[in-house]
A and B are shown apart, each in its own frame.
Chain A
């Protein structure tokens, strides 16, 4: 599995990890595998797919680095982790951070 971390994710200790916002701050609605998330602190509403929901509601309930996050998502999907999935997870986690949905630990 690729372990390259985008430059902007570098941390002084070399092990950046992310964790989702407190569960109490996230209100979810789900219909037919599509998800709507209301983020209380920002007041913003987001339209998300199932992968994003799994990451925020489960996988990132504990701090994980990108390789661990990618591996866990791959396991949930029943697929082998590859570069595409790693890049996808990286982009999601970065976007979540911009939106305040995850924080670095």
Chain B
């Protein structure tokens, strides 16, 4: 495989056999936004879906210092592979207990999320989906189950650029958010809701009975992955909440209230101290802040798109 003039080779450019061989041997490096992740996945059943989900991500060859080494393998136990557990380790340390082999893909994705959240304190990491439009970033901070990822996946397939469905990566002192586009994790009913909304999108296998229910991952749009190095300043902070049957409500809220909610939703606010305070202050000061309640995905997408398109940045 050769690097093209357009940049490093992409995961999808490898033959499935070569991808599988490299992955099983721990010779795959993938650039995920600012993170260079070395992957060693000795669970053949997820090689193909993993390649499809990361098809547009840049591959990293040659010796280099990686952000982390992620490893997933079956534990030593007799039985059919699908019934065996898998163990995730990052840099040789297992951050949680072994989990069912049938959930291997979800375990790997959760593991990489965990590694990012626990390790990279050069960023203030907000628990928020982030997307970009007109050169400005929209933050969607929310607790699990509030419809953040579903809304994020929908926007990413309606001409918003995906930064992340999980991490708002703020660089202290810059006011800018960095993209880290990776597969978007959808849960339970939102999987079919999203399939209907964006039939052209690629979803990975449906994984039932996980600790978060049924899970499926949406492949990040190629254009978003291709622009992974393009940061954007925050312009809108929207706290979404999906509630069955309610009419859409988009209510502007005060920046102080937004500040507290952003800080509450950060992974490492207290680790960074005053640098985190300053970073959130910059976001709150530069943004219009809203509370969004919705039940209809299309309506929510239209409302946020209208908000972004109508704002005058002058």
Contacts and interface: CB of A to CB of B under 8 A. Distances in A.
Contact of A38 (B254, B255, B277): B277
Interface residues of B, number: 16
A29 B285 contact: yes
B209 to A, nearest CB: 39
Contacts of B278: 27
A76 interface: no
A87 B72 CA distance: 60
B281 A36 contact: yes
B255 A31 contact: yes
Interface stretch (A11-19, A40-48, A65-73, A93-101): A40-48
Nearest to B281: A29
Nearest to B272: A43
Contact of A34 (B257, B274, B281): B257
Given A36-B281, A45-B263, A27 B274 contact: yes
A29 B274 contact: no
Contacts of A27: 274, 277-278
A29 B257 contact: no
A32 interface: yes
A38 B277 CA distance: 7
A32 B256 contact: yes
Interface in A46-70: 47
Interface residues of A, number: 13
B270 A36 contact: no
Contacts of B259: 29, 36, 45, 47
Contacts of B257: 34, 47
Contacts of B269: 45
Given A29-B281, A29-B284, A31-B284, A40 B256 contact: no
A98 to B, nearest CB: 18
B118 interface: no
Contacts of B62: none
B23 to A, nearest CB: 41
A31 B254 contact: yes
Given A36-B281, A45-B277, A31 B270 contact: no
A7 to B, nearest CB: 33
B254 A32 contact: yes
Nearest to B269: A45
A103 to B, nearest CB: 20
B243 interface: no
Interface in B260-280: 260, 263, 269-270, 273-274, 277-278
Q: Across chains A and B, which 9 residue pairs bring their CB atoms closest together, nearest first?
A: A34-B256, A31-B255, A38-B277, A47-B260, A36-B259, A43-B273, A29-B281, A31-B256, A36-B256
Given A30-B256, A36-B259, A45-B269, 8 more contacts: A29-B256, A34-B256, A36-B281, A38-B274, A38-B277, A40-B274, A43-B273, A47-B260
